[in-house]
Chains A and B, each alone.
Chain A
Amino acid sequence: MKAPKPRTALAIGAAAIGLLALARSSARDAPAATGDAPGRTARRERFGRYRVVGKTVTVAKPSRAELFDFWRDFTNLPAFMENLNAVRPLSEGRWEWEIVAPGETSVTVVTEIASERAGELIAWRSVEGSRIDTEGRVAFRDAPGGRGTQVELVVAYVPPAGQAGVAIAKLLQREPAQQARRDLRRFKALMETGEIPTSDNRIETEKA
């Protein structure tokens, strides 16, 4: 049961990309001098023209293997990723992501798996020549103290309109950092409770 998709999805590509995450070079997520903290939390951007966003949540249940399997089937992603209409498998390990775009239309991006370790990591990237240059990576590791699994989602993308584009996307609540954070939390809720909480009092159909 998922909350209705907002109708005001933003036009600029950055929006679309929020959920497409990234992974190309791990160097992009690990600049020096942040101690044990993830590189993306550094106070200064160090990823060139890429913007890197990410978030970690701890998911109490089910097991790490089950969480991995659910994510690995990309057709499940629209269940908790607000900006995704659908993900369809193509040949040769490629996937077609249909992303909500303004005016009831959608943008499609083709991705390929960049790397994968069963139960631990899935990384994907947009294929050469895509309208949107993005990479994503989700990592699963055991949380300390038997608290379940830490799930970390990292997305890198090239903002279509630079810093101005990022600011506009934020205003429209479609900035990739927001999207990554919210999508990941919806994933957690769906896995832990079997549903995605909403305060809607009824299922929105036509205007009742």
Chain B
Amino acid sequence: MRALTYHGKKDVRVDTHPDPGIVNPRDAIIKITATAICGSDLHLYDGVIPGLMAGDILGHEFMGEVVETGPGSTLKKGQRVVVPFTISCGSCFFCEKQQYSACDNSNPVEKREMSETLYGQPMSGLFGYSHMTGGYPGGQAEYVRVPFSDVGPIVIENDDLEDEKVLFLSDILPTGWMAAENAAIEGGDTVAVWGAGPVGLFAAQSAKVMNAERVIVIDHHPHRLELAKGLGCETLNFREVDVREALLEMTGGIGPDAVIDAVGMEAHGFAIDNMLDVAKQTVGIGADRASALKQALLACRKGGRVSIPGVYGGMTDKFPLGALMEKGLKIGTGQTHVQRFTHLLLGLIEEGKIDTTFLISHRLPLEEAPDGYYNFRNYQNEWTKVVLKPGT
């Protein structure tokens, strides 16, 4: 099969790989019909995620048709499914609590120890996202092997729903939704969202659905801010205004009730003992990248809520811990428990309460995926979301 393959920093190519097959009883093989490039794929592209190896197949937002099933799968050949980017066994302590992204089993034992060293506990398995999260081949490919296929994939029975309407159930829509949930929004709330990328925009949209009175989105790309306006949000361009001052004034001197950091920061080092050195070497960049969260903590009103869907992997300096404690802020964060939200969100899509297609700026055949990566990274204002279509 053909698949988007990592070769090195800023070097991805479409290569030929052996087709995947059923390995474990609960597996299914999916023929991909649509798959997207995620903002977090750009961290891989930039070569800053540890544990990625040349030859790895990328991609964790995908959907398609079931073509093969193991004896323990509940899927049937021919079904259309969207596959969550988190791999979850469905039977461990965490999956039973619907904390799917904390699954205790999906990351193979010999791979999980890297993250255990770093975080104290091991992370679960993810598709196409380095060997730290299992080294599972991803979905920017013609076919993908889906472990625990009786737990993850959601079957799309309504043929009138085209791929583009449901594809984002795989990651960014549930991620935006969980970000809004973590902000514990109450009627009348003002919510500020840092980052008008896909997750920030979907978080803003979700906050609206959850009856936030005002949503203020902060970015610097004019086109992305236009998309936020289209969702009924107010916008701030951080290149043009003092964000904290503006938020304070816009909220009558109180500050936003909830703040959402949809920007995040990449891990810059991996081994625990060199991480601090790496942080010091890159202190300019590191500080800049953490600035969204720091700004959000300072902007948030007393007793407010802080939601962090943005990805962080390492450590940070000069964290405003005092603002967190003295103002009594509550924090919610984590990788998305995708399986918890897919049915709810599919319902909202079918009812027309949530639309995700506004985000898609470019549609490309799989073979042109490397151009997609290049442009998505370098022309963020116009390239807001790339959908790849294998077989076209």
Q: Which residue numbers of A lie inside 8 Å of B, CB to CB? A: 1, 3, 58, 60-61, 147-148, 173, 181-182, 185-186, 188-189, 192-203, 208
A192/B91 in contact, CB under 8 A = yes
Residue from the list B92, B96, B137 in contact with A201, Cβ < 8 A: B137
Among A148, A181, A188, A197, which residue has the most Cβ atoms of chain B within 10 A?
A197
B89/A199 in contact, CB under 8 A = no
A197/B135 in contact, CB under 8 A = no
Is there a chain A Cβ closer than 8 Å to B134's Cβ? Answer: yes
The residues in B between 134 and 180 inclusive whose CB is less than 8 angstroms from any CB of A are 134-137, 145, 147-148
Set of chain B residues within 8 Å of A199, measured between Cβ atoms: 108, 111, 125, 131, 134-137
Closest Cβ–Cβ distance, residue A13 to chain B (whole Å) = 22
B116 nearest CB neighbor, chain A only: A181
Size class of the contact patch on chain B: 20 to 34
Set of chain B residues within 8 Å of A193, measured between Cβ atoms: 26, 89-92, 105, 148
- In the complex, A147 Cα to B20 Cα: how many Å? 36
Closest Cβ–Cβ distance, residue B11 to chain A (whole Å) = 22
Closest Cβ–Cβ distance, residue A178 to chain B (whole Å) = 8
A208/B18 in contact, CB under 8 A = yes
B104/A188 in contact, CB under 8 A = yes
Q: Is the interface of A mostly helix, strand, loop or mixed?
A: loop
Set of chain B residues within 8 Å of A1, measured between Cβ atoms: 23-25
Q: Is the interface of B mostly helix, strand, loop or mixed?
A: loop
Residue from the list B24, B93, B111, B137 in contact with A195, Cβ < 8 A: B24
Q: 7 tightest A-B contacts by CB?
A: A202-B21, A195-B24, A201-B20, A185-B109, A189-B105, A199-B135, A199-B136
Set of chain B residues within 8 Å of A147, measured between Cβ atoms: 93
Set of chain A residues within 8 Å of B25, measured between Cβ atoms: 1, 194-195
B18/A201 in contact, CB under 8 A = yes
Set of chain A residues within 8 Å of B137, measured between Cβ atoms: 199, 201
Please, what's the 1-or-0 string for B64-76, where 1 marks a CB less than 8 Å from any CB in chain A?
Answer: 0000000010000
A189/B125 in contact, CB under 8 A = no
Set of chain A residues within 8 Å of B92, measured between Cβ atoms: 60, 192-193
B23/A203 in contact, CB under 8 A = yes
A60/B24 in contact, CB under 8 A = no
Set of chain B residues within 8 Å of A198, measured between Cβ atoms: 23-24, 108
Set of chain B residues within 8 Å of A200, measured between Cβ atoms: 23
A58/B93 in contact, CB under 8 A = yes
Is there a chain A Cβ closer than 8 Å to B206's Cβ? Answer: no
Residue from the list B19, B87, B109, B134 in contact with A182, Cβ < 8 A: B109
Residue from the list A61, A182, A194, A202 in contact with B110, Cβ < 8 A: A182
Among A61, A186, A189, A201, which residue has the most Cβ atoms of chain B within 10 A?
A201
Set of chain A residues within 8 Å of B135, measured between Cβ atoms: 199
Please, what's the 1-or-0 string for B54-72, where 1 marks a CB less than 8 Å from any CB in chain A?
Answer: 0000000000000000001
Among A193, A194, A202, A208, which residue has the most Cβ atoms of chain B within 10 A?
A193
